[in-house]
Amino acid sequence: MRVPVQPGNIPTNLALLRQTGARWVRINVAWSTVQPSQPPPVTYDWSTYDPVMDTTAALGLEPILTLFSTPTWASLNGDPNCAAKSEPAPAHLSDFAAFCTAIGQHYLGKVRYYQIWNEPNGAGNFIVTSGCAGPDDPAKAVRDYCQLLKIGADALHNVDPNIKVLMGGMGYGLPNPRPTFFADCMNDPTNPAWQSADIYDLHFYGPTSAPPGSSSPGLRDWIDQFRSVVPAQGTRPFFCTETGKQSLQADGPVGQSRQIRQVFPAMLQYGVEVVLWYQLSDSCQGCPDQPEAWGLIGWPAPGCDRTQYGPKLGYYALREFIQGGGRL
């Protein structure tokens, strides 16, 4: 379950998650938040994340920390409008390594799973050119991401060899996709991803079966596309740290609940070892008119009426699935 870091609701919502029987949570940790100022001196501010980590530890949850969001001072393009999704400039790769070392040491004994970046197979999520919306360079994206993955994984493994590093989740149906990104990363001649990653990750937002006439693959075909390009020596577990559906779509909370009942058992049947919903709770972007309704805890109808905030049908579907023997 991805947990949005929003002050005020974290302990209550994480406690509700634990009541379902869920064990895993995924938390995005922005490098730009932890280290907003360019060194020297080297300083890290963990105050945004320490309360979340304390709560997860107290509840016995297993966190996966996704490391992303380049500080403007370290980004390739330096444009504050898109620096967070830009790759680090070559001169600042050592700063990213230092950040990975620092977070591994800071949460040593509390966090065993880290992920390097989010959906780098989308051109808008891992920008490798000088502008915010310039022409993409897919080959450079593969080279540079594989290098970043190795740098981050080496730093974290040097802190603790038992830490598990996830490759950035491969997004489904992204705008401006890099269709061969995963396969090309497996075959990168300098830093093949399978040598750095302990776990591969998929982000799935489609139906379990492809609709008639659709060019998009169904779930099993999509998973098989990834498995087919992994070399024998690179066999690793597959996780799915994002699958979701908004409850304000046409079929509402019932459709969100149905998505859980269909996708979660199918994922496990097809050999995905851990499945997480996107996301735990609604965020109120664009309030008071329209919340962002991916959460299983939030608003059952349009509007941000706090008196209506609470578990949705999907929350109970998740609880039923886990308590019936599903592994989450």
> How many other C-beta atoms lie within 10 A of the C-beta of residue 289?
9
Alpha-carbon distance of 319 to 321, in angstroms, equals 5
pLDDT at 175: 82
Which residues are within 8 A (CB) of 195 and not within 5 positions of it... i.e. 6 or more apart? 150, 234
The whole-number average pLDDT for the span 18-26 is 95
Contact 111, 164 (CB under 8 A): no
Is the pLDDT higher at 176 or at 202?
A: 202
- What's the pLDDT score for residue 326? 65
Least confident of 135-139, 264-268, 322-326: 322-326
Q: Which two tokens stand for residue 138?
A: 């897919």
Q: Give the mean model confidence (pLDDT) for residues 95-112.
A: 98
pLDDT score recorded for residue 231: 96
Rounded CA gap, 286 and 298, in Å? 15
What's the distance, CA 105 to chain centroid? 21
What pLDDT, on a 0 to 100 scale, did the predictor assign at position 300? 61
Q: Which two tokens stand for residue 44?
A: 């890290």
What pLDDT does residue 63 have? 97
In our burial notation (b when 16+ CB lie closer than 10 A, e otherwise), range 186-215 reads bbbeebbbbebbbbbbbbbbbebebeeeee
| Residue among 226, 245, 266, 250 nearest 312 (CA) | 245
Is 285's pLDDT higher than 90?
no
For tokens 């070392």, the residue is 101
On the question of pLDDT at 254 being above 80, the answer is: yes
Residue 283 above 80 pLDDT? no
Residue 104 contacts by C-beta under 8 Å, 6 or more apart in sequence?
A: 111, 114, 155, 156, 159, 160, 163
The phi and psi torsions of 243 (rounded to 5 degrees) equal -150, 140
Tokens of 154: 């080496």
User: How many other β-carbons are positioned within 10 Å of the β-carbon of residue 58?
Assistant: 12
Measured CA to CA, the distance from residue 84 to residue 77 in angstroms comes to: 10
Q: How far apart are CA 165 and CA 158, in angstroms?
A: 12
Map out the domains of the chain with their CATH numbers: 10-323 (3.20.20.80)
| pLDDT of 187 strictly over 90 | yes
**Residue with structure tokens 């709560």?**
55
Q: Quick one: pLDDT at residue 209?
A: 81
Nearest to 154 by CA among 106, 114, 111: 114
pTM for this entry: 0.94
What is the per-residue pLDDT for 5? 61
Q: Is the pLDDT of residue 302 over 80?
A: no
Position 325 pLDDT exceeds 70: yes
DSSP reduced 3-state for 269: helix
